[in-house]
A and B are shown apart, each in its own frame.
Chain A
Amino acid sequence: MEENKELQTASSQEAEVLEATETVPAASVEDTETPLDKNVRLMSPTRMLFRRFFRSKLSITGLIMLIVLFAFCWLGPVVYQRWGETETDRTGKITYTDYSVSIDDGEFVQIFVTDNGINELAPPSADHLFGTDEQGMDVFTRLMYGGRLSLTISFLAVFLTSFLGIVLGGLAGFYGGVVDDIIMRISDVLICLPTLPLMLIIGTVLDANGVPSQYYIYLLMGLLSLFSWPGMARLVRGQILFLREQEYMVAAEAMGYSTARRIFKHLIPNILPQILVSMTMSLGSMILSESTLSYLNLGVRIPYASWGTMIQIAKDNYILQNNFNVWGAPGFCIIVAVLGFNFIGDGLRDALDPKQRR
């Protein structure tokens, strides 16, 4: 019991002992008047967390990557207004193809002049920084708008998934018994449903019911969240089952605290770290799911842009070979975004790990 109390105080308010010889002159060691906290610098857990987080180069790299990406997507279109998201470059393109033809009288050159109404698949230039796609839309501009959509959708989906997971997992863990059984059996069923096929089926169903293409992806990702909460629910349930048996929870109950207070004041703050890490990591995987769905033509539809939709045109082998600028750029953006979230998640996990020694 005694030991436990000490542990409690240690974990709630970590103290870092400064090197006594450095800050306090050797002579003053006998000075018993100096209170203890002069030799000891108190650090709140939050501050320790920040310190550990920012000490890791990886998490800083991730943070910078994401800040740059967010600035690019949200401030980009404000600054760079040359082209709109769905604006087609109609300046046209005149291409000359020449053939040398030989007939009995001699040779001559036949020139075909093709006047194409739209400036499609243009190479990168000052006008179009990353060129244009096969519909003559500016790739650079679409990258920014596509990023807005991809990032917004992923955030919404992760918040919805986590909300469902926390509430259901919390209920299951806290109340146990029948509630727990029902929720966990539902989560078993959902875990066994293969995600990608399921999304394909739901996508087709939505299609058939005439959902307008702007809202389509939001609905699809919302439904995806309905099917992907079990991971978070299991995490929360496991943690709560573990914490429920801790002495401090027994104490809280013995002191007659209300259920709400026990849950929100004593349980949730203790699970928050794991939830945060898991949410950061799933942001990355949500971006991947969103782009996968868009790539399979089930997400954001042309003319609206999303990174996945933009890669889709590389299914055409000619474009795959000749227009790397068109499909490589969105792929690169996806990688940067997912990588950023994964780096931060990794850094957070290390920073929050109580067993960490550095």
Chain B
Amino acid sequence: MFKYILKRIGMALLILLGVSFILYALLRCMPMDFIEQRIVNLATSGITVTEEFKQQMYKTYGLDGNIVEGYLNWLGNVCRLDFGKSFISQREVLSEIFNADRMGTSFFVAAVATVFEFLIAIPLGITAATHQYSVRDYAVTVLVIIGISLPSFFFGQVLKDVFANKLGWFPVSGMKDAGITYANGFEALVDYLRHMFLPILTITILSIGGRMRTTRTNMLEVLNSDYIRTARAKGLKEGTVIYKHAFRNTMIPLVTSLAGLIPSLFSGAMLTEQVFDLTGIGNYALNAMTQGDIPVIMTYNMFLAFLSVMGMLLADLMYGVVDPRVKLA
């Protein structure tokens, strides 16, 4: 077991190396808008920009030399846990990304949405499976397939238009009402939740579908197995059969899929955050990408890649824990 984990971690490091090289190479092909813009600004303000100065500029931002040199340089810095400074704000990338406003907001939205997703999707999946081919099954299936088919930016805009602009129940966008001082912490919390409601609703509705489909499929598979027939033949109550014998066995894929959720908890929903103008990490990364802020883009994407690798490893380990039939070697 220990050897297996070590082997997998070694593999994960190799994967991350591959991912980081592809990302870095692509990023270096991006136009250096940011620095050229600065040079142009300096030139227009009357300072003569020498070729030497330009080279110096590229050097300070770590963009001199070819791609391989730059990559090795970046890798060396990362090994010393130095992820560089954001080109735009000149602050440490780590403190830019991992603060309450950015990562905090995204994590809050994603975590609440995930909880609701499970609370809604699993009971729906179970009823659809136990009432296979009934009206209920079809209704649930159609509804969740519609949920999967919605483009997040469009659905977010529809919700925004209806509930914020037309009905005025929720604020249109942003994190809090401008220019309002709260009497107490409770009011501030209520205001915060009001702003978070529509983004969370958007993400929840879009993600219910997939979860419900897998629950239904797994449940159907279990319901067709022999031990369920035995349980029924013993004369157990239907509720006991479904929730004690069947559902527990559908938990195996559910629990392991939890590990796969890790990246989405921290990645931030780029489009939804953009539609509702939240300050989350997704929106921040989107802006960084349009402005060519290489250290931020690199760190953000590598963080996501790291989480997916860890998620895959955890999922496999959890299989071993949850399902006694699986032996890891």
Contact = CB atoms under 8 A, between A and B. Distances in A.
Given A194-B267, A197-B297, A201-B297, A291 B151 contact: yes
B145 interface: yes
Contact of A192 (B16, B141, B267): B16
A202 B14 contact: no
Contacts of B163: none
B151 A339 contact: no
B142 interface: yes
Interface stretch (A13-21, A270-278, A330-338): A330-338
B136 to A, nearest CB: 14
Interface stretch (B67-75, B88-96, B302-310): B302-310
Nearest to B26: A201
A205 interface: yes
Nearest to A57: B138
Contacts of A291: 151
B145 A342 contact: yes
Nearest to A202: B26
A121 to B, nearest CB: 16
Contacts of B308: 191-192, 194
Interface stretch (A1-9, A164-172, A230-238, A317-325): A317-325
A205 B22 CA distance: 13
B305 A343 contact: no
B142 A317 contact: no
Given A197-B297, A311-B157, A314-B157, A205 B30 contact: yes
A185 B309 CA distance: 12
A202 B25 CA distance: 11
B271 interface: yes
A208 interface: yes
A200 B149 contact: no
B23 interface: yes
A335 B152 CA distance: 11
Interface string B166-194: 10000010000000000000000000000
Contacts of A328: 158
A175 to B, nearest CB: 21
Given A292-B271, A321-B165, A342-B148, A194 B142 contact: no
Contacts of B289: 197, 200-201, 204
A288 interface: yes
A260 B87 CA distance: 55
A324 B161 contact: yes
Interface in A280-302: 284, 288, 291-292, 295-296
A94 B270 CA distance: 41
Main DSSP-derived SS at the B contact region: helix
B112 interface: no
Interface in B57-98: none
A43 B18 CA distance: 51
Kindly state the interface size class of chain B when it binds its partner.
35 or more
A193 interface: yes
A111 interface: no
Given A196-B270, A292-B153, A327-B157, A201 B30 contact: yes
A29 interface: no
B160 interface: yes
B322 interface: no
Given A204-B30, A208-B30, A339-B145, A197 B160 contact: no
Interface string A55-83: 00110000000000000000000000000
Contacts of A339: 145-146, 149
Contacts of B43: none
A355 B146 contact: no
A208 B26 CA distance: 12
A38 interface: no
Interface string A341-358: 011001000000001001
B292 interface: yes
A192 B309 contact: yes
Contacts of B151: 288, 291-292, 295, 308, 311, 331, 334-335, 338
A189 interface: yes
B154 A331 contact: yes
A192 B15 contact: yes
Interface in B15-73: 15-16, 18-19, 22-23, 26-27, 29-31
Nearest to A188: B15
A311 B84 CA distance: 37
A141 B166 CA distance: 28
Interface in A113-166: none
Contacts of A334: 151, 154
B135 to A, nearest CB: 11
A192 B22 CA distance: 11
A40 interface: no
A196 B297 CA distance: 12
A157 to B, nearest CB: 16
A186 B178 CA distance: 49
Given A192-B15, A197-B289, A321-B165, 15 more contacts: A185-B14, A194-B301, A194-B305, A197-B285, A197-B297, A197-B304, A198-B23, A200-B286, A202-B26, A205-B26, A205-B29, A207-B31, A208-B30, A338-B149, A343-B145
Q: Which 9 A-B pairs have the closest CB atoms?
A: A338-B149, A208-B31, A331-B154, A189-B18, A192-B305, A339-B149, A194-B304, A205-B29, A200-B289
Interface of A: 57-58, 185-186, 188-189, 191-194, 196-198, 200-202, 204-205, 207-208, 284, 288, 291-292, 295-296, 308, 311, 314, 317, 320-321, 324, 327-328, 331, 334-335, 338-339, 342-343, 346, 355, 358
26 contacts: A57-B138, A186-B18, A189-B15, A189-B18, A189-B19, A189-B22, A191-B308, A193-B301, A197-B270, A197-B300, A197-B301, A198-B23, A200-B290, A201-B289, A205-B30, A208-B30, A292-B152, A295-B153, A314-B157, A320-B160, A331-B158, A334-B151, A335-B150, A338-B151, A346-B141, A358-B133
